[in-house]
Amino acid sequence: MKHRQSVAMAISSAIVAMVIDAGTKRWAETSLGNAASRGGDLVQLRLSHNTGVAFGLVADHGQLIGLLVPAVLIVLACVIIRSRPGATGWLGVGLLIGGGLANAADRLRDGRVTDFIDVGIAAQRWPTFNFADIFITLGCALLVVDAYRAAARERNRA
């Protein structure tokens, strides 16, 4: 894949991730409101707001985190891009950056992130999350797959 196509893939996937996340958060804010939860036992939709980072860590520092996250993402993207990832890696970079910027934009708006996807069984629940979190996780997984593939190619050359 040519460099220009790779960069276009990363930018496109970042934009798509940001648009999907913003749309679903808007929907959650207007549709879920104060409802206890909607859905079944395994997956529920429950509106909540997180002022911290993943799983509520460093809560009540939303504005500071909102400024630091984009800076960290830019540095991380530069490091990854210099490693010349394959197509899977470029998609991962886009999803990681798109998800991170989507949460950062949400956080800069009012110091918190809108979460609404709640998974678990009965009382055993995972912390509530959103589509940006899904994109960040998927992006990281794709980067790991890409690094594994690159290592395998290197081993085969030797």
Does residue 109 form part of some domain?
Answer: yes
Is the Cα torsion angle 45, 46, 51, 55 positive or negative in sign? negative
Residue 102 has pLDDT above 70, yes or no: yes
Residue 20 has pLDDT above 70, yes or no: yes
Does residue 39 form part of some domain?
Answer: no
Helical H runs in 62-130? Answer: 62-82, 87-110
pTM summary value: 0.86
Does residue 12 form part of some domain?
Answer: yes
How far apart (Å, rounded) are the C-alpha atoms in residues 97 and 91? 10
Active site residue 133: yes
Question: Which residues constitute the domain of residue 135?
Answer: 3-33+44-157
pLDDT in tens, 115-149: 999 999 988 988 899 999 999 999 999 999 998 98
Among 21, 106, 118, 133, the one annotated catalytic: 133
Active site residue 146: no
How far apart (Å, rounded) are the C-alpha atoms in residues 147 and 101? 23
Give me the residue label for tokens 């899977």: 88
Tell me the pLDDT of the chain averaged across its residues: 86
Does residue 38 form part of some domain?
Answer: no
How far apart (Å, rounded) are the C-alpha atoms in residues 17 and 126? 22
Does residue 141 form part of some domain?
Answer: yes
The count of domains in the chain is: 1
CA-to-CA separations, 52 to 112, 136, 142, 147, 158, in angstroms, rounded = 7, 16, 25, 30, 46
Does residue 123 form part of some domain?
Answer: yes
How far apart (Å, rounded) are the C-alpha atoms in residues 81 and 99? 17
Among 21, 115, 118, 146, the one annotated catalytic: 115
| Residue 56 pLDDT | 61
